[in-house]
Amino acid sequence: MKKRFFSIKFPFKAEDERYKFYLDLNTTIYESIRSDITHLLFTPTGSRLRDPRFGSNLIRLLFQPLDELTIGDVKSEIQTAVKRYLPKVTITDLKSVRTEDERGVRVTMNYKVDEGAFFVEDSITVDL
């Protein structure tokens, strides 16, 4: 059976010796969706050629005061970016809280993708 690949895995990792690729590739649609979300959120807005609106401003929020306003801005930025560039992804729950050490924000995003016969529910947690 021939192995199927969907997209480049993000974040980038070393090549997979079995397939002789320079970058790891997603082997399931679930991995591909997770990589697409991660790629979108961690690409700074304005850094992509031919589509300067792609990405999010999360990196700009890293050095803002860690208050409720900034935590709200993080949630808003994620919702806006996902809605604009991943229209098939529906955010079902989004939580932003301070990390245990009070030095960053932990974001947990629950999402679903429904394309008829294909249905995914998953979550991503990242520390900023």
The answer to whether the beta carbons of residues 74 and 105 sit under 8 Å apart is: yes
> Is residue 100 domain-resident?
yes
* pTM across the whole model: 0.77
Range of the domain at 74: 29-127
Angle between helices 29-42 and 68-85 (to 10 degrees): 130
Give the domain CATH number at 115: 3.10.450.40
> Is residue 11 domain-resident?
no
> Is residue 67 domain-resident?
yes
Write down the pLDDT at residue 82: 94
> Is residue 10 domain-resident?
no
> Is residue 99 domain-resident?
yes
> Is residue 23 domain-resident?
no
Instruction: Specify the number of domains making up the chain.
Output: 1
Task: Name the phi and psi angles at 38, rounded to 5.
Answer: -60, -45
- Is residue 111 over pLDDT 90? yes
Strand partners, 113: 89, 120
Residue type present at position 82: V
Write down the pLDDT at residue 109: 94
Strand partners, 3: none
Q: Sorting pLDDT into bands at 50, 70 and 90, what band is 4?
A: low
Q: How far apart are CA 75 and CA 43, in angstroms?
A: 16
The winner for highest mean pLDDT among 19-28, 75-84, 96-105 is 75-84
Q: How high is the mean pLDDT of the chain?
A: 83
pLDDT tens digits, 39-90: 899 899 988 889 899 999 988 888 888 888 888 899 999 999 999 999 889 9
> Is residue 20 domain-resident?
no
Residue type present at position 127: D
The answer to whether the beta carbons of residues 28 and 34 sit under 8 Å apart is: no
Q: Which residues contact 99 (CB under 8 A, 6 or more apart)?
A: 105, 106, 127
Q: Sorting pLDDT into bands at 50, 70 and 90, what band is 118?
A: confident
> Is residue 123 domain-resident?
yes
Q: How far apart are CA 45 and CA 51, in angstroms?
A: 9
The answer to whether the beta carbons of residues 101 and 114 sit under 8 Å apart is: no
Q: Sorting pLDDT into bands at 50, 70 and 90, what band is 20?
A: low
Average pLDDT (98-111) is 87
